[in-house]
Amino acid sequence: MSPPAGQGGPGAPSGFRWGTATSSHQVEGNTVNNDWWAFEQRPGAIRNGHRVGSACDWWRNAEADFDRMAELAQNAHRLSVEWSRLEPEEGRVDDGAVRRYRQMLQGLRDRGIAPLLTLHHFTLPLWVARSGGWENPRIVAWMGRYARWCAGWFGDLVEDWIPINEPNLVVVLGYLLGRHPPGIRNPLRARRVVPHLLRAHAAAYRAIHAEHPAARVGTAHHLRLLEPARPHSLLDRAVAAAHSQFVNWMWLDVLAWGEGRSALWSGRVEECAGTMDFVGINYYTADRIRAALGSPGTGCGRVVRPPGVALSDGGYGELRPDGLRWALAETWRRYGLPLCVTENGLPDEDDDQRPGFLLDHVEAVRRAQRAGIPVWGYYHWSLVDNFEWAEGWTLKFGLIAVDPVTQRRTERPSARLYREICRGSVLPR
């Protein structure tokens, strides 16, 4: 799909994708048949007792926000389909859900917005979760079947695909820190799910390509610059390097070459080799790691921050555009595959940091392109404020503010800045 005229973006090749990103559970509303809805009912699971509820009401009225995307000159959007809507019980398809997603995808295309489709963005159908979720090896076949069905249902409307969003965080947040479903803190169980996530990606990759050989199938991988808090400390350097190997590189190594090594899991999975057509980078922030050998539950390290360092709302993270420059350069050096920034943003309710954040991080993309790195898209997280998982409604990532009670939208000033970036009429500094 070609972008609308005049939307090549600053310093970008023709057809560069300028968009935003969302996920089904966070924006659709009333996804009552998945593990996240069930998790939200646990006392204390979500900050301030928040619930997703109607979210941003996309299941009924996503098209109103699609109009806003078009008004803001975006030519692309990354969204996900909800497995629990499409296959509410094992083997049973909800034809109404298939029709609604086709309507949404066609609605994007009708507005000149190219969809990038994610199949699994943190949520599992209850029937999968109750069967053991990612610990059950059968999930590989289930994911492959689901991907094959989606490719058949939506392949005429979608060129770009991501099977699983941030598999590294599925493990870290769901099985090591217990902040996401299934709410487990157990390294042995965490290790068990790693190969299932990798093999499920490979099964989905091959299923999509079997239906549509020309499809572009990649990954959306959370990359984080992890530095030693004390650069001259051998312990800090060793712990930071171990964290980086697991969080950043082990996963991509397996999908590129079929083998990866880290402190939590190491192994060879032949079927995964060569199952990325591009690498999608989800980049938000950087951490400084100090060795804490008495805390094996956190990988013998803890995050420290220097006094006075610039943080986004809620202490979510440091503002570090150099981390995106590092992520693009290092990923290209290691794998030599086309790259896309599939998520990048910050929580900023009063919008005082987001304009500078946008300019600095788009400049990182521009520098990468000047250096010959093939970056083909940038997706800002997010178009609208949405339900931010365990943080509930407390973190505001949207270019557009949303009141989840009234569904009222209020455009933040950074939305207008991003529109000019998408149009190519505002160049980063």
In a domain, 386, yes or no: yes
Helix residue spans in 41-157 (DSSP H) = 58-71, 83-86, 95-110, 126-129, 139-154
Handedness of CA 118, 122, 128, 133 (dihedral sign): positive
d(CA 2, CA 6): 11
Q: By percentage, how much of the chain surpasses pLDDT 90?
A: 93
- The pLDDT tens digits for 208-222 are 999 999 999 999 999
Q: Which of 285, 354, 340, 319 is nearest to 21 (CA)?
A: 340
In a domain, 140, yes or no: yes
- Which element (helix H / strand E) includes 190? helix 187-211
**Is pTM beyond 0.85 here?**
yes
| pLDDT higher than threshold 50 for residue 184 | yes
Strand pairing class (267-268; 339-343): unpaired
State residue 337's pLDDT score.
98
* Range of the structural domain that residue 112 is part of: 17-423
How far does CA 322 lie from the centroid of its chain? 20
| pLDDT higher than threshold 60 for residue 82 | yes
- The pLDDT tens digits for 5-23 are 333 433 333 489 999 999 9
State residue 429's pLDDT score.
52
State residue 6's pLDDT score.
33
What does the DSSP 8-state code read for residue 33? T
Q: How many CB atoms lie within 10 A of CB 181?
A: 27
In a domain, 307, yes or no: yes
Domain count, the chain: 1
State residue 9's pLDDT score.
37
Helix residue spans in 384-426 (DSSP H) = 413-423
In a domain, 291, yes or no: yes
In a domain, 165, yes or no: yes
- The pLDDT tens digits for 148-172 are 999 999 999 999 999 999 999 999 9
When the pLDDT of each residue in the chain is averaged and rounded to a whole number, the result is 95
- Domain CATH code at residue 41: 3.20.20.80
- The pLDDT tens digits for 282-304 are 999 999 999 998 887 778 899 99
State residue 2's pLDDT score.
30
d(CA 61, CA 113): 17
State residue 379's pLDDT score.
98
State residue 428's pLDDT score.
53
In a domain, 116, yes or no: yes
How far does CA 266 lie from the centroid of its chain? 24
pLDDT average, residue stretch 324-347:
98
Q: By percentage, how much of the chain surpasses pLDDT 70?
A: 96
In a domain, 1, yes or no: no
In a domain, 12, yes or no: no
